[in-house]
Amino acid sequence: MFTGIVEEIGQIVSIQKNNQSAKITISANKILQDIHLGDSIAVNGICLTACNITKNHFTADVMVETMHRSNLGNLQKGSIVNLERAMSANGRFGGHIVSGHVDGIGTIIDLKKEENAVWVSIKANKSILKYVVEKGSITIDGISLTVAYIDNSCFKVSIIPHTAQQTILLHKKVGDTVNLECDILAKYVEKLLFHTQQEQKTQKGITLEFLQNNGY
């Protein structure tokens, strides 16, 4: 479990791509101070398992599903990434509940400076946007951010100087992709509502809708 508060910017040292999977090695400093084999590390918001650790690097395997759901396939040697260790039991919950399980990718369509902040507009599929609400939380490349605007095709976040300095988001340009993870609470609510509606239909037995669907 993560909070979306990026701890460090790392750099891809090597990436070995197979047919649909990969193995990546990333250089880091801060996050390696308290990491053990098998621990989870969020890389651009993607929960990966450290399978090898040295003084200044860690290596992780990336399975096919992760490659399909994220933009990790676009990374190359020298790319910079957001890094966060899994939350410790005695840590502060500075962001929101982040699982590190990416829902899909979005595309940056506009970057606009507004005094000390920068507005970032991101286009996403409706399958993702349905979980996004104004003033709610969303994870972009592992960064916990507040949604400031949303419509039927995109949403916007405002990036303060601290976030700009501590993450890679403003290193990106229009047309670049980002990993998106929606608020997990929204997905649980949707699932519960679906089952509630199904149960209500079952309890009602023969309804007008049932008769119409069966030719009466």
pLDDT of residue 140: 98
Could you give the count of Cα atoms lying within 13 Å of 111 in the half-sphere of its Cβ?
A: 12
Whether the pLDDT of residue 213 is over 90: the answer is no
Nearest to 120 by CA among 173, 70, 67: 173
pLDDT of residue 26: 98
Greater confidence (196 vs 12) lies with 12
Query: What is the rounded average pLDDT of the residues 110-122?
Result: 97
- For the sheet with 137-140, list strands across it: 143-146, 137-140, 177-182, 104-114, 117-123, 154-159, 149-150
Burial of 62 (0-12, 13-18, 19+ CB in 10 A): buried
Domains delineated in the chain: 8-85 (2.40.30.20), 104-189 (2.40.30.20)
Burial of 176 (0-12, 13-18, 19+ CB in 10 A): middle
Label the pairing between strands 46-53 and 8-17. unpaired
Query: What is the rounded average pLDDT of the residues 40-60?
Result: 96
Whether the pLDDT of residue 19 is over 70: the answer is yes
